[in-house]
């Protein structure tokens, strides 16, 4: 059993109805691939289980469930943040029950003995964070802020690698190769069509959240690549994108959840500095370019997310969420 434990000792804590609403609404704000929201929750007294919802996975783009587990890790992190805001410490175990492999993370809540440093202060960022796919301002991220983002990833046992311009160019070549393979991959197009674009609510990525099409070549992912885009607006994107690759030392189900915890901590810290991020993960959805990205970051760590980060130049449309009540399976 792979297990990661975070946080302090457990004692009894039972959530009220209002607290359950707050915690699960926070979980639902987490990012997930194509906004599938592949999570379900069970609450047993002071224990909150985060389960994989097999009906909300992406068999073509994410056959091993790596992306889904990253999303579950991010949702589990939001649970910890909301619980901390409510006055609960939490411990977290990954894959806690071999008899129930669908239980990906288990949180044990306990009444707080001392302030939960850092976590509760991130609560305000949970609903403020959105993936932003539009152009970024030319303004650089101050080094002290970059260090805070590095720290956020490290606190969850992951690492950020900031790409220099030459490495970004190499990444761009990989992105373009992958995009051209993706644009003629009928299975992928079919799967994406199910989740991306158009007018939708509840889940998936609404057209307003896709961002404009680049008027000039840019390092940005068009999630609707290959679909009709005649009516989408265009914009000029930043010439020197800031890209960080989030990696883990290991490459198994636990590492993927770890990546999700780290991603969410890092994104919430970024949001607190008015930074926004989008992702260039198409290069991680196929083994060959993923291995090439691994080499780009030194060949020792496993790339889990390719993050384009900076200050937004425009307002952006947001994705919506399913009702959190529908994600609660059992409660006793
Ligand atoms: C594992 C993972 C991979 C993702 N890959 C991409 C990507 O390659 N491109 C992109 O634009 N968004 C990507 N996203 C962002 C999701 O599309 C986004 O989180 C989802 O649509 C919900 O929107 P929100 O982040 O604004 O709440 C990814 C998210 C996760 C968790």
Question: Tens of pLDDT along 290-331?
Answer: 999 999 999 999 999 999 999 999 988 999 999 999 999 876
pLDDT of residue 228: 83
Mean pLDDT of 112-140: 91
Closest-lying ligand 1 atom to the alpha carbon of residue 62? 1
- Whole-number Å distance between alpha carbons of 253 and 56: 17
Mean pLDDT of 197-204: 94
- Whole-number Å distance between alpha carbons of 282 and 182: 8
**CATH topology match: 17-128 vs 143-310:** yes
Determine whether the shortest distance from the Cβ of 132 to ligand 1 is under 6 A: no
pLDDT above 50 (res 95): yes
pLDDT tens track for 144-181: 999 999 999 999 999 999 999 999 999 999 999 999 99
pLDDT of residue 331: 61
pLDDT of residue 3: 44
Asked if residues 96 and 2 have their Cβ atoms less than 8 Å apart, the reply is no
Asked if residues 315 and 226 have their Cβ atoms less than 8 Å apart, the reply is no
Determine whether the shortest distance from the Cβ of 197 to ligand 1 is under 6 A: no
**Which residue has better confidence, 229 or 225?**
225
pLDDT of residue 268: 98
pLDDT of residue 324: 92
Mean pLDDT of 105-130: 89
Mean pLDDT (the chain, rounded): 93
Closest-lying ligand 1 atom to the alpha carbon of residue 284? 8
CA 310 – ligand 1 centroid, Å: 16
Instruction: Using most ligand atoms within 8 A of CB, pick from 26, 27, 29, 31 the residue to mutate for ligand 1.
Output: 31
Tokens representing 322 are 């399913």
pLDDT of residue 9: 42
pLDDT of residue 13: 65
CATH number of the structural domain 143-310 = 3.40.109.10
pLDDT of residue 277: 98
Tokens representing 23 are 């915690």
Determine whether the shortest distance from the Cβ of 32 to ligand 1 is under 6 A: yes
- Whole-number Å distance between alpha carbons of 141 and 89: 32
Q: Using CA positions, which residue lies closest to atom 13 of ligand 1?
A: 279
Q: How many residues does the chain have?
A: 332
Closest-lying ligand 1 atom to the alpha carbon of residue 223? 11
Task: Count CA within 13 A, CB hemisphere, residue 46.
Answer: 16
Domain boundaries, the chain: 17-128, 143-310
Instruction: Using most ligand atoms within 8 A of CB, pick from 131, 174, 307 the residue to mutate for ligand 1.
Output: 131
pLDDT of residue 332: 58
Q: Using CA positions, which residue lies closest to atom 31 of ligand 1?
A: 32
pLDDT of residue 7: 46
pLDDT of residue 115: 67
Question: What's the CATH number of domain 17-128, 3.50.50.60, 3.40.50.2300, 3.40.109.10, 2.140.10.30?
Answer: 3.40.109.10
Task: Count CA within 13 A, CB hemisphere, residue 156.
Answer: 36
Mean pLDDT of 221-237: 91
Mean pLDDT of 117-122: 88
Percent of all residues in the chain with a pLDDT value above 70, rounded to a whole number: 94
SS3 29: coil
Determine whether the shortest distance from the Cβ of 241 to ligand 1 is under 6 A: no
Tokens representing 74 are 């991010």
Closest-lying ligand 1 atom to the alpha carbon of residue 205? 21
Tokens representing 222 are 């068009």
CA 215 – ligand 1 centroid, Å: 22
Determine whether the shortest distance from the Cβ of 110 to ligand 1 is under 6 A: no
The alpha-helical segments, DSSP class H, found in the chain are 17-28, 66-86, 123-126, 143-155, 165-183, 186-195, 253-272, 287-296
pLDDT of residue 83: 95
CA 138 – ligand 1 centroid, Å: 23
Q: Name the band, by pLDDT with cuts 50, 70 and 90, for residue 230.
A: confident
Strand partners, 88: 111
Mean pLDDT of 4-22: 69
């Amino acid at each position: 059993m792979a297990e990661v434990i975070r946080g302090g000792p457990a004692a009894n804590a039972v959530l009220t109805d209002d607290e359950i609403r707050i915690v699960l609404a926070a979980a639902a704000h987490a990012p997930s691939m194509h906004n599938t929201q592949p999570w379900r929750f069970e609450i047993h007294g002071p224990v909150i289980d985060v389960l994989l919802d097999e009906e909300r996975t992406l068999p073509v783009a994410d056959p091993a469930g790596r992306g889904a587990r990253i999303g579950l890790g991010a949702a589990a992190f939001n649970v910890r943040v909301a619980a901390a805001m409510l006055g609960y410490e939490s411990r977290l175990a990954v894959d806690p029950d071999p008899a129930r492999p669908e239980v990906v993370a288990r949180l044990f809540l306990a009444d707080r003995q001392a302030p939960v440093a850092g976590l509760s202060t991130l609560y305000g960022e949970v609903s403020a964070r959105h993936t932003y796919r539009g152009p970024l301002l030319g303004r650089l991220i101050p080094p002290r802020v970059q260090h805070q983002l590095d720290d956020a990833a490290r606190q969850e046992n992951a690492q950020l690698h900031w790409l220099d311009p030459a490495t970004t160019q190499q990444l761009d070549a990989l992105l373009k190769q992958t995009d051209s393979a993706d644009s003629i991959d009928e299975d992928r197009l079919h799967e994406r069509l199910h989740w991306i674009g158009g007018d939708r609510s509840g889940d998936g990525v609404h057209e307003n959240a896709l961002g404009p099409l680049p008027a000039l070549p840019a390092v940005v992912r068009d999630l609707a690549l290959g679909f009709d885009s005649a009516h989408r607006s265009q914009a000029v994107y930043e010439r020197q994108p800031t890209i960080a690759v989030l990696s883990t030392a290991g490459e198994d189900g636990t590492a993927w959840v770890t990546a999700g915890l780290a991603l969410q901590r890092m994104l919430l810290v970024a949001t607190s500095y008015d930074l926004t991020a989008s992702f260039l993960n198409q290069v991680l959805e196929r083994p060959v370019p993923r291995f090439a990205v691994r080499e780009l970051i030194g060949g020792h760590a496993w790339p889990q997310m390719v993050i384009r980060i900076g200050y937004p130049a425009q307002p952006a449309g947001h994705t919506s969420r399913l009702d959190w009540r529908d994600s609660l399976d059992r409660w006793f």
